């Protein structure tokens, strides 16, 4: 990317995450290099534990510095479900199944959490977290973003994340916040320089 002074490898197979990382990190002069490593995830209670563990294993396995991001949807009335099981729930229940679980429930409050973990082959992971609160809508709307975006309405918005442009989503989203925290640290650190 012209004008970049740094780059970072992003280990993910999710194209939506790559696009969002580019939107958030390019104003910091950080170019995102997609890196498709395999078999990196564990099951754990928090997105931070998953991201930290995955980043550490991946950085050692592939002998390179990189970031990994883990995210989850936490629904209050379901005691935080799907949380760490968001990916599995999306594949199995889907949006329709998730909405059915909320039939008849009063509170539709929910939040998305994101953790971005950076690790180099000789170091320990650094984790940056982000959170967005909102509501689960009664029906899906919008075709932007990915995953549960069509049914998640951020606090203060009248539109679902599926109806926001990616730039608008990144301004309010869990991932946008976590990536901006990472970028603030990374721009100050000595890693990732392009010579």
Residues that bind ligand IMP (CB under 6 A): 14, 70-73, 86-87, 90, 112, 145-149, 161, 173, 175
In the Cβ-directed half-sphere of 187, how many Cα atoms lie within 13 Å?
14
In terms of CB distance, is 6 or 99 closer to ligand IMP?
Answer: 99
| Active-site residue flag, 70 | yes
In terms of CB distance, is 42 or 194 closer to ligand IMP?
Answer: 42
CB of 70 to ligand IMP, least distance (A): 5
Characterize the bridge pairing of strands 30-35 and 6-11.
parallel
CB of 148 to ligand IMP, least distance (A): 4
In terms of CB distance, is 1 or 44 closer to ligand IMP?
Answer: 44
CB of 184 to ligand IMP, least distance (A): 20
Number of alpha helices (DSSP H) and beta strands (DSSP E) in the chain: 6, 6
Question: Per DSSP, what are the bridge partners of residue 157?
Answer: none
From the number of C-beta atoms within 10 Å of its C-beta (0-12, 13-18, 19+), residue 184 rates as exposed
Are 143 and 152 in contact by the 8 Å Cβ rule? The answer is no
The set of catalytic residues is 70
């Amino acid at each position: 990317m012209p004008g970049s002074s740094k780059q970072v490898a992003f280990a993910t197979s999710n194209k939506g995450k790559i696009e969002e990382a580019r939107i958030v990190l390019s104003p910091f002069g950080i170019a995102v290099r997609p890196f498709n490593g395999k078999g990196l995830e564990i099951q754990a209670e928090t997105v931070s534990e998953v991201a930290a563990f995955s980043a550490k294993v991946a950085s050692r396995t592939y002998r390179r510095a990189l970031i990994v991001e883990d995210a989850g949807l936490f629904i209050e009335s379901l005691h935080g479900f799907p949380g760490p099981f968001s990916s599995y729930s999306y594949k199995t229940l889907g949006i329709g199944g998730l909405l059915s679980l909320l039939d008849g429930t009063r509170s539709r409050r929910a939040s998305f959490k994101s953790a971005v973990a950076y690790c180099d082959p000789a170091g320990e992971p650094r984790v940056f977290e982000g959170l967005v609160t909102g509501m689960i809508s009664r029906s899906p709307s919008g075709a932007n973003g990915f995953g549960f975006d069509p049914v998640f309405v951020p606090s203060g918005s009248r539109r679902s994340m599926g109806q926001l442009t990616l730039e608008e989503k990144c301004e309010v989203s869990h991932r946008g916040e976590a990536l901006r925290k990472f970028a603030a640290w990374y721009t100050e650190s000595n890693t990732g320089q392009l010579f």
